[in-house]
Chain A
C-alpha cells in the first residue's frame, strides 16, 4: 500500500513537469519525482520492527533492515543535489537572458 503511495507521488511529480509553465515549478516537479523514487528505495529495505544491521554478540537472528537501499538512496540524493544545483543555476541564467520564467515565452528554437 505504501509502495502505491510512492508511485502516486511519482505521478504527481510527472504531472507537474508536463503541465506547468513556470521553469521553477518544472524543477520542483523533477525534485518531487526524485523524492518519490528515493522514498520507494528506502521502503524496499524496510522490515517491520527491524533493527540496524550491526552484527553484535547474540544478535545473530535479529530482524535486520536491508542496508543496501539506504546506501543507494544516499548516492541518489547526492546526484540529485548536483543536478538540482545545476538546473537552478541554469534557471537564473535563463531569467537573465529572457527576463521571464514562462516556458511558453522561451521559444527561440524552432523547427
Chain B
C-alpha cells in the first residue's frame, strides 16, 4: 500500500470527525487529535527508511497520468518537511491538551488545527501548481481562523490584518499559476519545468516576480512581514508555535525553494535577490526584536530574523549554504516552537506577556525556565546546541562563495540574537522573584512533556548532527542541487 496520500487523508478525515464531536467528552477529542498527529509523526519517520539513494516516489491521483493529472511527489526535501511539520504538530497538540482548557469549543480548535496540518502536508507533497494553490488556501484559511480563536479585540484585529495580506498573497499566486498555464498549457510542476527550460520571456519573469511576492508574503520576509508580529503573538501558544515553527516554512520557504530551484532553475539574479531579501530580514528582524517588551512579540520578530538566515543560505546556493539553510529550517522549527510553548506556559501561569512584569520565574517554574534557557542558547548559536551548527554551515557556505560582507553581517546578527535572548532570560526567568508570583505553580504535565522533549531535540540534534545530516539533510540538499533535473526524474520515472 502506498502511504503518501495518508499524509493528506488522515488529517482531513480527522478534522471532519472532530468537527462532529461537539457533544463528546473533552478527553475523547484530545485522544483522537493526539493519536492522529502521533500516527503522522511515526509515518513521516517511516518514510526515511522507505526511500534510498535519492529515489523519487510519485503517487498518481485517480489514475490520470502526470502531465495531465495531479501527482504527489515524495523526494528528500518533501520528507524533511514532512518530518518537521508532523513532529511539531504532535508536540503542539500534546501541549494543547492542558493549554486549551481555558477556551471553549476545543473540538473546533482541533478540527481547524487538523485542516491546517492537511493543507501543509499537501503543499509539501503536491507536484501540481493548482493543487499547490488549493492546499495553500486550506492551510491559510484555517490559520486565519486559529489566530482569531480567542475572539478578543486584539486577536480579531491581528487576524484581519493577516487575512488581508494572506488573501492578496494567494491571489498573486493564483495569477501567476494562471499566467504559467497560459504560457505552457500545463499545470504539472515537472512538465512546466521541462517546457520553460532555457527559455527567456518577459511574461515568465513576471510570473516569477508574482511568485516571489506571493510566497514572500507567506514566508514574512521583510518587505512583506507586516502581518507576522501581530498574528503570531495573538494566536494561542500552540498555534503560535505552529505558525512560527512550521507554517511560514511550509507555505513560504519550502514553496520558494521548490518553485525557484526545481521549476524555474536558479540564476545569478535570483540568488542575489534571495540573499538581499535574507539580509534585510535578518538585520531588520533582529533590530526590531531587541526593543520589544512583549515576550511573544519578541519571538515573532526573531522568527523574521531567522527566516532571513534560511534565505541567505538558500541564496548562497553551494553545498554548505543549502545544507545550513535546511538544517537551520529544522532547528528553527524545534527551538522556536519550544520558545513559543515556553511563552505560553508563562502566560498560562502568570497571565501576562510583558517581560518587565515577570522576574525570577525559574524558581517557581523550573521546567519552563530550564527549557527556555536551552531554547535561547540554541537560537543564539552557542556551540553544543543545534543552532550553532546550522549557523556555522551557512557561514562556511558564504565564505566559500566569497561573500565576506555577508559573513560578517551574519555573525553580527548572531550576536544580536544572543543579546535579545539574554534580555528575555534576565527579565523573565533570572533575578529575584516578585512578590505576586510567589504562589504560582509549574504548568500541567502534558505541557511540561512537550517542552522537555523539544528541548531534548535541540540538544540531541546538536550533538548527533552528523548522522542526522547524512540521513535527512543530504538527500534534501541533493534535490536542490540537481535543480531542474527534477522534471526529468518525475516524468521519466
The finding on whether chains A and B are genuine partners in a shared complex, rather than unrelated, reads yes
By a CB distance below 8 angstroms, the chain B residues around A108 are: 153-154, 157
Asked if A106 meets B157 with Cβ closer than 8 Å, knowing A75-B130, A111-B229, the reply is yes
Q: Does B156 contact A (CB under 8 A)?
A: yes
Question: For residue A98, which residues in chain B have a CB less than 8 angstroms away from its CB?
Answer: 153, 157
B171 touches which of A30, A82, A94, A109 (Cβ 8 Å): A30
Does A30 lie within 8 Å of B175, measured CB to CB? no
A37-B178, A98-B153 are known contacts. Are A23 and B160 too (CB-CB below 8 A)?
Answer: yes
Contact A33 B153 (CB under 8 A): no
Q: Decide if A87 is an interface residue (CB 8 Å cutoff).
A: yes
Interface residues of B in 149-185 (CB under 8 A from A): 151-154, 156-160, 163-164, 167-168, 171, 174-175, 178, 181-182
Chain A CB count within 10 A is highest, among B130, B145, B230, B297, for B130
Q: By the criterion CB–CB under 8 Å, are B297 and A34 in contact?
A: no
Asked if B148 lies at the interface with its beta carbon under 8 angstroms from chain A, I say yes
Interface centre among B148, B167, B182 (most CB of A within 10 A): B167
Flag whether B463 is at the interface (Cβ < 8 A): no
Query: From residue A6, how far is it (CB to closest CB) to chain B in Å?
Result: 9
B30: CB under 8 A from chain A? Answer: no
Report the minimum CB–CB distance from B234 to chain A (whole Å): 8
Whether A14 is near chain B, meaning CB under 8 Å from some CB there, is yes
Cα–Cα distance between A17 and B292 once the two chains are bound (Å): 29
Interface secondary structure of B, over-half rule? helix
Asked if A72 is at the interface (CB within 8 A of a chain B CB), the reply is: yes
Task: Please determine whether A109 and B156 come into contact, CB atoms closer than 8 angstroms.
Answer: no
Q: Quote the shortest CB–CB distance from A87 to chain B (angstroms).
A: 6
Complex CA–CA separation, A46 to B137 (angstroms): 26
How many A-B residue pairs have C-beta atoms within 8 angstroms? Tell me.
87
A55 nearest CB across to chain B (Å):
16
Q: Does B385 contact A (CB under 8 A)?
A: no
Known contacts: A83-B141, A111-B294. The answer to whether A37 contacts B160 by CB under 8 A is: no
Once bound together, how far apart are the Cα atoms of A14 and B217, in whole Å? 15
Contact B156 A90 (CB under 8 A): yes
Which B181-225 residues have C-beta < 8 A from chain A?
Answer: 181-182, 187
Place the interface of chain A in its size category: 20 to 34
In angstroms, Cα B144 to Cα A30, docked, is 15
Q: Does B396 contact A (CB under 8 A)?
A: no
Q: Indicate if B433 sits at the interface (CB-CB under 8 A).
A: no
Q: For B153, what are the chain A residues with a Cβ–Cβ distance below 8 Å?
A: 94, 97-98, 108
A47 proximal to B (CB < 8 A): no
Residues of A within 8 A of B174 (CB): 37, 41, 76
Within the complex, which residue of B133, B145, B156, B230 is in contact with A94, where a contact is CB–CB below 8 Å? B156
**Complex interface residues of chain A between 43 and 99 (CB less than 8 A to chain B):** 44, 68-69, 72, 75-76, 79, 82-83, 86-87, 90-91, 93-94, 97-98
- Chain A residues whose CB sits within 8 angstroms of the CB of B148 once the complex forms: 90, 93
Chain B residues near A76 (CB-CB < 8 A): 133, 174
Instruction: Compute how far the CA of A14 lies from the CA of B165 in the bound complex, rounded to whole angstroms.
Output: 11
**B134 within 8 Å of A by Cβ?**
yes
Q: List residues of chain A with CB within 8 A of the CB of B145.
A: 86
Q: Do the beta carbons of A44 and B181 come within 8 Å of each other? A: yes
A92 to chain B: closest residue by CB:
B156
Task: Determine which of B137, B152, B178, B294 lies in contact with A69 in the assembled complex, contact meaning CB atoms within 8 Å.
Answer: B178
Given A97-B156, A111-B292, decide whether A10 and B163 contact each other with a Cβ distance below 8 A: no
- Chain A proximity of B160: nearest CB distance (Å): 6
CB distance from B289 to the nearest CB of A (A): 10
Please determine whether A26 and B178 come into contact, CB atoms closer than 8 angstroms: no
Contacts of A10 in B (CB 8 A): 175
* Chain A residues with CB under 8 A of B297: 111
Most buried by B among A14, A68, A69, A111: A111
Q: Which A residues lie within 8 Å of B133 (CB)?
A: 76
Contact between B137 and A90 (Cβ–Cβ < 8 Å)?
Answer: no
A44 near B182 with CB under 8 A, answer yes
CB distance from A77 to the nearest CB of B (A): 11
**Contact for A79 among B137, B156, B160, B175, CB less than 8 A:** B137
**A44's contact among B151, B167, B178, by CB below 8 Å, is which?**
B178
> What CA separation (Å) do A68 and B182 show in the bound complex?
11
Given known contacts A40-B178, A83-B141, A93-B151, A109 and B157 CB-to-CB distance under 8 angstroms: yes
CB <8 Å contact, A90 and B160 = yes
Interface residues in B225-239 by Cβ distance below 8 A to A read 229-230, 234
A107 contacts across to B, CB distance below 8 A = 157
Asked if residues B158 and A26 are in contact (CB atoms below 8 Å), the reply is no
Instruction: Check A93 against B164 for contact (C-beta < 8 Å).
Output: no
Q: Let me know if B160 and A94 touch, CB within 8 A.
A: yes
| Closest B residue by C-beta to A94 | B156
- Is A87 within 8 A of B294, CB to CB? no
B126-149 vs A: 1/0 string, CB under 8 Å? 000010011001000100110010
Q: Are A30 and B141 in contact (CB under 8 A)?
A: no
From B134, B154, B167, B171, contact of A75 by CB (8 A) = B134
**Closest-CB distance, A84 to chain B (whole angstroms):** 9
The residue on A at minimum CB distance from B148 is A90
User: What are 28 A-B contacts defined by CB distance under 8 Å?
Assistant: A30-B168, A34-B167, A37-B171, A40-B175, A41-B174, A41-B178, A41-B181, A69-B178, A75-B134, A76-B174, A82-B141, A83-B141, A83-B163, A86-B141, A87-B163, A90-B156, A90-B159, A90-B163, A94-B153, A97-B152, A97-B156, A107-B157, A108-B154, A109-B157, A109-B158, A109-B230, A111-B229, A111-B292
Q: Which 3 A-B pairs have the closest CB atoms?
A: A97-B153, A44-B182, A109-B230
